Structure 1
Amino acid sequence: MQIQFIGAAQTVTGSMHLIKTNESTFLLDCGLYQGKRKEAYELNRTFGYFNPKEIDFVILSHAHIDHSGNLPTLVKNGFEGNIYTTFATRDLCTIMLQDSAHIQERDVEFVNKKRKKLNKNLFEPLYVLDDALETLKKFIGINYHFEFKITPNISVTFYDAGHILGSSIVYLKIKENEKIYHLGFSGDLGRPNLPILRDPEIIPSVDYWISESTYGGKTHQNPLDSEKQLEEIILKAIKNKSKIIVPAFSVGRTQEIVYALHRIFDRNEKDRIPVYVDSPLAVNATEVFRLHPECFDNEANEFIHKNEDPFGFNKLIYVKNVDDSKKLNDISGPCFILSSSGMAETGRILHHLANNIENPNNIILIVGYAAENTLARKLIDGQKQVNIFGDPYNVNAEVIVLDSFSAHADSDELLNYTNTLDKKSLKKIFLVHGEIEQQNIFQKKLLSHGFQNVEIPKRGQIENI
């Protein structure tokens, strides 16, 4: 058996790992690489290490675009197999892949207008809506904890990763040459005590563990403090009549923030300010969240019994229409505007940042991970001037980073989870989905705690098992 690490190898995005057995060739995840646009386009367009027609099936850990977003390209290039995942992930992908196709088409159209004027070769979108729709036909939903036989010799079981709705830790049993291999893939591992979702579940012992390492060298603020910190920012906004501009991922982070605001305003009615969720995808994703209370933790379910809708309250407005989005430019603070994308690379958030970033009264609130070279990362790093739509803007607004809302396990939480694995059975750990500096720190941490054979694979590296 072989594992080849193709995406999210010494980088955070583009999760994709190829596994070959005597009888099958399959992928764990098929995500979009996000980074410098020219590099990202080339990496996403050509798979390089394999022919999509030779892939028998895909196992998908969760719906985030850096894990699922290149599935339509796979299908466009000849993949005909099934995609196995949880029911909630399937439902989220129904809206997210269509939205991604729309973004591909829109972005290429915008770039090609400029290239046409310069007599340069025109780009094609990675995929279009028809490719996304064809991909959705291939999804097969599986319940958590149910061992599903994909082939006579390969079975998969999904355990809750506690990262986003439907996210899973993948547990594989693979029989080859009369021997059974147990392989675990963390996907993106969530954190204990996050709002709404259950904590990450413990899986049975494994021989090989493929672990994310996004925050392998960092510790987060306590998630139990997140509401208090958010409440303090609201009080500051009320005092200064600030607009709070929040680049937020449409799936997961937006719903967590809305849920936290609901709880805050329930406790302090006088501090309630207008809240706008300006993202068509976030609006649709919230509807999917409402359909899957089986993924919620006990606290969230108790809150639902007291409040009919955990994602709706007085002064909360979901914005779909473009004209209504533009009207937000004219409103005065205090108010709260959540908009995608979370890394501030595409979408309506760019317009809100352009209109508000130079006002020193305003607050830009960063509540999620931002990859290198993205606009959100530049704001986190304290750059005083940034480009938006190609134009320079001075960063006069206050930038606040609230990592207590992070849905990724931090260094200590990753270690605590890894410690639940049986060291006697564990032959090797592979660290993926992390920048190399974070991975090096986490590798040393694991080795110092008695783990052996901890490797950080490079892109394209093959491991024979």
Structure 2
Amino acid sequence: MKQRFAKTGIIRSFGAAEVVTGSCHLYQIDHGPTILIDCGMFQGTVEERNYEPFGFNPRHVDILLVTHAHLDHVGRIPKLVREGFRGRIITLKSTMDLAEVVLLDSAKLMEEEYHTRFKKAQRRGAEASVRKPLYTTDDVAAVYDLPMTFVRYNKPVEIAKGVVATFRDAGHILDSATIELDVTTKEGSEKLVFSGDLGNHNDMVMPDPVTVKEADILYIESTYGDRDHKGIEESVAEFKDVIINTLLNRGNVLIPSFAIERTQEILCLLKQMYDSKELPECQIFIDSPMAIRATRLYDAYHEELSEECNEYLKRDGTIFDFPYVRYTPDVEDSKKINDIDSGCIIIAGSGMCTGGRILHHFKHRLWNERNALLFVGYQAEGTLGRRIINGERHIRIYHEEILIRASIHTINGFSAHADQSGLIEWMKSFDRLGKIFLIHGEYDKQKVLRKVIGEKMGKRAHIVAPEEKIYV
């Protein structure tokens, strides 16, 4: 989809184009600033792309807008800074607070992996073959030395001459945003909307995504563009069945969970079960330092959460805590969980099983048929989580072959992403909607959504190709 001239400028997507992860969209405004929307990390089968050049000069970027703090939206910001970005970051304060947790965790994992590989390479005399980390904790600190402007929802802010940004609540995670840009140049004016990741309705922690009224250009995510989620009631019932049956069977439940939003939602659901006396006596371990820090931030920014969360806060003085919950930030505390034979619910990262403490629990628990592995989040192509869901039963963890005998359960109704119907309904809520561009989705799923948009909305949608020039 190409015009003969650009009214306001050119957008190119250097990530999250025909793939889900690596969100990174460069908007070059004619005779105006160059704006980058997100700078996220690639995950799964495309993670090698993190080490490739950006495709643009970071020194030429004037403004970085951040929709939310998930790794696939913020994970390459330290690399951007290390390679020369000195512009202004504009987002909500809580987003940068959460991003600091995410980025420090990412940097520490990469540094630890580098040092481990370097030691092994030294013994072979092959130090030069070990690739250095994408960035370090010092690079993360450098991000927070840059100038930042913190915005509030629904408050228009002039971010440059002729450019006004308005952040709307996307309902995806804490202070996630849909970003509206009202841009005026000599050639004319346009309203551009970047959906960010849109939340799912009926989320226990987050409010519903805010509707937007007008857009000449819409860049919209399409992660679940090919299907609808299970109903929330059905998902909750299935979740409860797995938890109750496994615990009563003297087993343990392993939940690989994203530290941000999903862990908090699962805690809320377990608290509901505790209140209603449905939850058998057990020990619930939040075995993720990042999830623990994120949960504390959710408490701190509680006014942005659902009414239900704030009712818990009024009643208990805490949103997520109840007697069965145990937090294990230290490695030694995490190791002690292995000594408990039964009656545990272990919530640990990483959410896609690509690293983190969940792998240690897999090693100690997956071979036991009394246990259950419960997936409650998206598993990208190429990740261990996706391979297990696809039926792989022999996996290798820390140089040891593990036979999976535990029962495997996938519940996608808890997704923090809108499903196909949610995306369509959100777009239908516009009073005026111009051109639609699909990003942040696997290509086969985007083709399905493109067809449905044509059938249900009578509009054409364009699937954005990597680095394609879109004249807007």
| 1:43-62 mapped onto 2 (5 Å cutoff) | 43-62=49-68
> Which residue of structure 1 lines up, in the alignment, with residue 413 of structure 2?
404
* Whole-angstrom distance in 2 between the partners of 1:204 and 1:137: 36
SS of equivalent to 1:263: helix
Equivalent of residue 349 in structure 2, options 325, 330, 340: 340
Q: Which residue of 2 aligns with 1:86?
A: 92
Aligned-partner residue type, residue 124 of structure 1: K
TM-aligned CA deviation for residue 331 of structure 1: 0.4
SS across alignment from 2:469: strand
Structure 1 residue matching 2:433: 3-state secondary structure: coil
Structure 1 residue 117: Cα displacement? 4.1
Shift of 1:294: 1.6
* 1:391 has 2:400 as partner: yes
Are 1:21 and 2:29 an aligned pair?
A: yes
Mapped to 2, the partners of 1:219 and 1:388 lie a distance apart of 33
Contact 1:237 1:333 in 2 (8 A): no
- Could you tell me how far 1:60 is from its partner in structure 2? 0.5
Structure 1, 306-315 or 357-366: larger mean CA deviation: 306-315
Q: Choose which of 113, 125, 131 in structure 1 pairs with 2:133.
A: 125
1:281-316 CA-partner distances (Å, limit 9, x unpaired): 111111100111121122222232222212111021
Query: SS state of the match for residue 291, structure 2?
Result: helix
Q: 1:45 to 1:285 in 2, by over 3 A?
A: same
Q: Does the aligned pair in 1 maintain the 2:244–2:279 contact within 8 Å?
A: no
Q: In the aligned structure 1, how far is the partner of 2:332 from the partner of 2:374?
A: 24
| Unmatched 5+ stretches in structure 2 | 1-8
> After alignment, is 224-233 or 443-452 more displaced?
224-233
Give the whole-Å Cα distance in 2 for the aligned partners of 1:300 and 1:464: 43
Q: 1:429 aligns with which of 436, 447, 450?
A: 436
Q: Deviations over 1:212-265 (max 9, x none)?
A: 101111111122444333222221122211110110001111111111111110
Structure 1 CA distance, aligned partners of 2:279 and 2:266? 19
Separation in 2, partners of 1:298, 1:324 = 34
Q: CA deviation at 1:365?
A: 0.5
CA contact (8 A) 2:363 2:402 kept: yes
Residue in structure 1 matching 2:460, options 447, 453, 461: 453
Q: Is the 8 A contact 2:60 2:85 kept in 1?
A: yes
Contact residue 359 and residue 396 of structure 1 kept, 8 A? yes
Structure 1 residue identity aligned to 2:254: I
Q: Are 2:116 and 1:107 equivalent residues in the alignment? A: no
Task: Compare 283-292 and 175-184 and name the one that shifted more.
Answer: 175-184
Q: Structure 1 residues 121 and 382, CA, compared in 2 at 3 Å: closer, same or farther?
A: same
Match for residue 259 of structure 1? 268
Q: How does 1:159-178 map to 2 (within 5 A)?
A: 159-177=168-186
- Contact 1:378–1:386 (8 Å) recurs in 2: no
Deviation at 1:137, TM superposition (A): 2.9
Paired positions, count: 460
Aligned counterpart, 2:383: 374
CA distance in 1, matches of 2:456, 2:240: 38
Question: What one-letter code is carried by the residue in structure 2 that aligns with 1:91?
Answer: D
For residues 299 and 211 of structure 2, the distance between their equivalents in structure 1, rounded to whole angstroms, comes to 26
- The question of whether the paired residues in 2 share the 8 Å contact of 1:250 and 1:340 is answered with yes
What amino acid does structure 1 have at the position aligned with 2:20?
V
TM-score (norm 1): 0.96
**Matching residue within 286, 293, 318 for 1:309:** 318
Alignment-derived partner of residue 152 in structure 1: 161
Counterpart CA distance in 2 for 1:17 and 1:263 is: 40
Distance verdict in 2 for CA 1:151–1:117, change over 3 Å:
same
Q: CA deviation at 1:457?
A: 1.3
Which structure 1 residue ranges, 5 or more long, are not aligned?
none
Among residues 55, 66, 73, which one is paired with 2:72 in the alignment?
66
Matched AA of 1:131: D
Structural mapping, 1:135-146, within 5 Å? 135-138=143-146, 139-146=148-155
Give CA deviations for 1:102-149 in whole Å, capped at 9, x if unaligned.
Answer: 112112223333444442512111111111011023343211111111
2:22/2:42 contact within 8 Å kept: yes
- CA RMSD, Structure 1 to Structure 2 (Å): 1.5
Once structures 1 and 2 are overlaid, which stretch shifts more, 224-233 or 160-169? 224-233
Q: Write the mapping of 1:197-212 to structure 2, written as runs, cut at 5 A.
A: 197-212=206-221
Percent identity for Structure 1 against Structure 2: 35
Whole-angstrom CA distance in 1 between matches of 2:214 and 2:325: 45
Q: Distance in 2 between matches of 1:163 and 1:191?
A: 7
The CA distance in 1 between the partners of 2:292 and 2:334, in whole Å, is 13
Amino acid at match of 2:59: K
Amino acid at match of 2:131: F
Mapped to 2, the partners of 1:51 and 1:217 lie a distance apart of 35
Whether 2:469 is the aligned partner of 1:462: answer yes
Partner of 2:240: 231
Q: Residue by residue, what CA displacement relative to the aligned partner does 1:421-464 show, whole Å, maximum 9, x if unpaired?
A: 23xx4331111111111111101000112342311111111111
Q: Does 1:442 align with 2:449?
A: yes
Matches of 1:277 and 1:33, distance apart in 2: 26
Distance 1:108 1:12 in 2: 26
Out of 321, 328, 345, the position equivalent to 1:319 is: 328
Q: Which of the residues 176, 182, 191 maps onto 1:182?
A: 191
The one-letter code of the counterpart of 2:141 is L
Q: TM-score, normalised by structure 2?
A: 0.94
| Corresponding residue for residue 283 of structure 2 | 274
Alpha-carbon distance in structure 1 between the residues aligned to 2:123 and 2:182:
55
Distance 1:29 1:379 in 2: 30
- Counterpart CA distance in 1 for 2:467 and 2:171 is 29
CA distance in 2, matches of 1:434, 1:332: 40
After superposition, the Cα gap between the structure-2 partners of 1:140 and 1:223, relative to the gap in structure 1 and judged at 3 Å, is farther
Taking the aligned partners of 1:402 and 1:71, their CA distance within structure 2 comes to: 32
- Structure-1 separation of matches of 2:212 and 2:281: 42
2:229 is matched with which residue? 220
Paired letter, 2:202: N
Please report how far the alpha carbon of residue 269 of structure 1 lies from its aligned counterpart in structure 2 after TM superposition: 6.4
Is this contact kept in 1: 2:25–2:37, CA < 8 A?
yes
Contact 1:116 1:122 in 2 (8 A): no
